[in-house]
Amino acid sequence: MTGRLVDRRPAASAADLAARFVPPKRFADVRFANYVPDPGHPSQAAAKDALERFAGAIAAPAANRGWRRAAPAAQGRPGRYLDGGFGVGKTHLLASLWQAAPAPKAYVSFEELTAFIGFVGMQPAVRQFAGHRLLCIDEFELDDVANTRMLVTFLRSVIEGGAKLAATSNAVPDRLGEGRFNAEDFERELLAIASHWEVLRLDGPDYRATSRPSRTAALSGGEVEAVAARGGTVTVDDFDDVLAHLRLVHPVQYAPMVDGLDTVVVRGLAPIENQGSALLFVQLVDELYDRGLTFAATGCDVTELFPESYRHGGFRKKYGRCESRLGSLLAEAAGPQTP
């Protein structure tokens, strides 16, 4: 069955959205037991061991667990923060921690969390996470002043409720927001966020570049037709139409927007001239990648999609992650190449 992504206008409720706060399909089966640290980078094994101990501490019974503030104070800093480059296994470990921890618990990307808070409001969002034992946040990053202030309030509230935290990021906590806004003016807020975490550094190369096929070239028209013909539920759209549509749908609804899809086809990738549109496209790619959907596209090379000024600016890590994930998605869609 073929349709168009731009015809999808989801309106999921807050309760529906909260029910999705679990690891995405691509990471649904990961566990500590199937994480294989790179022996050339001991920091990976050290981070795994530290998170396994953290999971044990969360699961351990506590006589005063119902007392506000008591549990975090008893075990030092309430959060574990996985810092490292793209593709070193941070998300695998974060999802493994979630699987090992007792309920109630939640797993969200940073973009999902900030979109959810903006969608429902601060107090309803805090109530949604009330009583949680663990909150996992993938790709933690501060893009603007509003997010910084919002996260200070939110994290303080969930920690006071007894929740433990875990996050992945490509920047250490005391350097969040660097290059994005005048961080010096918000030093107190940034220090407040940084104080919640014990940092676990993971070194190593991007496994997507070393153990998975990757390509930067878009697919040919024939390749895209072959992908679309594989069956399932497929959407086919022009790139400009997709970018326009993303501005009409609240980012918190991007996940419901791709519900039930097997393949997303986009025709005519081209350099994105508007940074707002570029950042929304990054969020869409994150959803497609996390859900393990097939993505096929014609048009420009992945390395041409984001202008140099974007790829070396304040959001460069977002674009770098997006390029890495697009490379994997396009290679997966194209399948094995005949020499």
Give the pLDDT confidence of 80-137 residue by residue, as tens digits: 999 988 778 899 999 999 999 999 999 999 889 999 999 999 999 999 999 999 999 9
Collect all residues with Cβ–Cβ distance below 8 Å to 125 and sequence separation of at least 6.
116, 117, 154
The reply to whether 139 falls in a domain is yes
| DSSP string of 70-112, one letter each residue | HHHHHTSSSEEEEEE-TTSSHHHHHHHHHHHSPSSEEEEEHHH
The reply to whether 5 falls in a domain is no
154 plus 237 within the same structural domain: no
197 plus 223 within the same structural domain: no
200 plus 321 within the same structural domain: no
The reply to whether 242 falls in a domain is yes
What pLDDT sits at residue 318? 86
Percent of the chain scoring above 70 in pLDDT:
86
pLDDT at 268 over 70: yes
Distance CA 117, CA 124 (A): 8
255 plus 322 within the same structural domain: yes
What pLDDT sits at residue 175? 57
The reply to whether 6 falls in a domain is no
Looking at 205, 230, 257, the residue that finishes a domain is 205
Half-sphere exposure of 251 (CA within 13 A, CB side): 22
52 plus 180 within the same structural domain: yes
pTM for the complete prediction?
Answer: 0.82
Percent of the chain scoring above 90 in pLDDT:
66
DSSP code for 336? S
Interval 21-47 mean pLDDT: 94
pLDDT at 32 over 90: yes
Q: Are 106 and 165 in contact (CB under 8 A)?
A: no
What pLDDT sits at residue 101? 96
pLDDT-derived band of residue 176, with 50, 70 and 90 as boundaries?
low
220 plus 100 within the same structural domain: no
Integer distance in angstroms from the first to the last C-alpha of the chain?
A: 32
pLDDT at 209 over 50: yes
170 plus 221 within the same structural domain: no
Residue 191: which domain range?
31-205
The reply to whether 2 falls in a domain is no
What pLDDT sits at residue 66? 46
What pLDDT sits at residue 212? 62
What digits encode the pLDDT tens for the residues 309-326?
887 777 888 898 899 899
- Cα torsion 57, 151, 17, 328: sign: negative
163 plus 250 within the same structural domain: no
Looking at 205, 239, 271, the residue that finishes a domain is 205
Interval 319-334 mean pLDDT: 92
CATH code for the domain of 72 = 3.40.50.300
The reply to whether 85 falls in a domain is yes
Higher pLDDT, 200 or 207: 200
- Cα torsion 195, 196, 200, 203: sign: negative
The reply to whether 23 falls in a domain is no
67 plus 159 within the same structural domain: yes
Distance CA 337, CA 339 (A): 6
The reply to whether 326 falls in a domain is yes
| DSSP string of 2-28, one letter each residue | EE-GGG------HHHHHTT-S--GGGT
Interval 273-282 mean pLDDT: 95
Looking at 205, 226, 241, the residue that finishes a domain is 205
64 plus 173 within the same structural domain: yes
What digits encode the pLDDT tens for the residues 217-258?
999 999 999 999 998 999 999 999 999 999 999 999 999 999
143 plus 237 within the same structural domain: no
Q: How many structural domains are present in the chain?
A: 2
288 plus 222 within the same structural domain: yes
